[in-house]
Amino acid sequence: MIMQKIRTLIVDDEPLAREGVRLHLEDHPDFEVVGECGSGEEAVQKIENDDPDLVFLDVQMPGLDGFGVLESIGAANRLPAVVFITAYDQFALRAFEAHALDYLLKPFEEERFAKALDRVRAQLQSRNQTPMDERLRNLLASLGAKENHLERMVARTNGKILILRVDEIDWIEAAANYVRVHIGPKHFLVRETMTNLETRLDPDKFLRIHRSIIVRKDRIKELEPLFQGDYSVVLHDGTRLTSSRGYRDKIQMFLQGTV
83 falls within a domain: yes
Q: Tell me, what's the pLDDT at 135?
A: 64
122 falls within a domain: yes
Instruction: Note whether 100 and 17 are same-domain residues.
Output: yes
Above 60 in pLDDT, residue 94?
Answer: no
Instruction: Note whether 78 and 183 are same-domain residues.
Output: no
Residue, of 75 and 9, whose pLDDT is higher: 9
Looking up residue 235, the CATH number of its domain turns out to be 2.40.50.1020
Q: What is the pLDDT of residues 170-213, one digit of tens each?
A: 999 999 888 999 999 999 998 888 887 888 898 899 999 999 99
Q: What is the pLDDT of residues 33-79, one digit of tens each?
A: 999 999 998 998 899 889 999 999 988 887 788 878 887 776 445 67
Of the listed ranges 42-56, 105-119, 137-151, 158-172, the least confidently predicted one is 137-151
Q: Which domain holds residue 174?
A: 152-255
How many domains does the structure of the chain reveal? Answer: 2
Q: How many Å is the Cα radius of gyration of the chain?
A: 21
Instruction: Note whether 132 and 157 are same-domain residues.
Output: no
1 falls within a domain: no
- Output the CA torsion sign for 144, 169, 179, 259: positive
Q: Tell me, what's the pLDDT at 253?
A: 87
Q: Measured between alpha carbons, how far is 157 from 31 in angstroms, rounded to an integer?
A: 33
Q: Tell me, what's the pLDDT at 100?
A: 43
Q: How distant is the alpha carbon of residue 60 from its chain centre? A: 15
Side-chain half-sphere exposure of 102, counting CA atoms within 13 A: 20
Which pTM does this prediction carry? 0.55
Average the pLDDT over 83-100 and give the result.
62
Average the pLDDT over 250-258 and give the result.
81
Looking up residue 44, the CATH number of its domain turns out to be 3.40.50.2300
Tell me what percent of the residues of the chain surpass a pLDDT of 90: 40
73 falls within a domain: yes
Q: Measured between alpha carbons, how far is 173 from 210 in angstroms, rounded to an integer?
A: 9
